[in-house]
Amino acid sequence: MNRVDKIRSRPCPLCKICGAPGIRIYRNLHDSLFNSPGKWNISQCQNNECGVMWLDPMPWEEDMPQAYRSYYTHSENDQNKNRTLDLFTISRQKLLLFLLRLTPLYRERKDINQMYLGKIKPGR
């Protein structure tokens, strides 16, 4: 597999939330989780009310897929697998809810949630 030696980046000295300058709190970090190429720094906003942390320098948006190349959810067939899993999960949840509604426990929970007022006819 051809690996890219470097992800392009740009300086990002200011907080994207409040615009205050940041201070570097971590330097020359290596991505041990996804093995993204390069060394990274993390800055933190100096505004005490904000405190956001970000990568500085920030990777170019176009190069972000390179950073997550080995991420386990990124493969060609994953989208179809996720749809199938989602449909199965939704169907299973609906079936379980239907079966639960057939039990006395469901009615009792509903009565408790309505403070046993569900059977009283509305008045004026």
Domain coverage including residue 41 = 9-67
17 shares its domain with 62: yes
Asked if residue 54 is part of any domain, the answer here is yes
CB of 70 closer than 8 Å to CB of 104? no
User: How far is Cα 118 from Cα 83, in angstroms, rounded to an integer?
Assistant: 38
Q: How many structural domains does the chain have?
A: 2
Asked if residue 63 is part of any domain, the answer here is yes
Asked if residue 4 is part of any domain, the answer here is no
CA 124 to chain CA centroid, nearest Å: 49
14 shares its domain with 57: yes
Look at residue 42 in the predicted model and tell me its pLDDT. Answer: 95
At 10-69, the pLDDT tens digits run 999 999 999 999 999 999 998 877 778 888 899 999 999 999 999 999 999 888 888 777
Asked if residue 122 is part of any domain, the answer here is no
Look at residue 6 in the predicted model and tell me its pLDDT. Answer: 79
41 shares its domain with 16: yes
Q: What's the whole-model pTM score?
A: 0.52
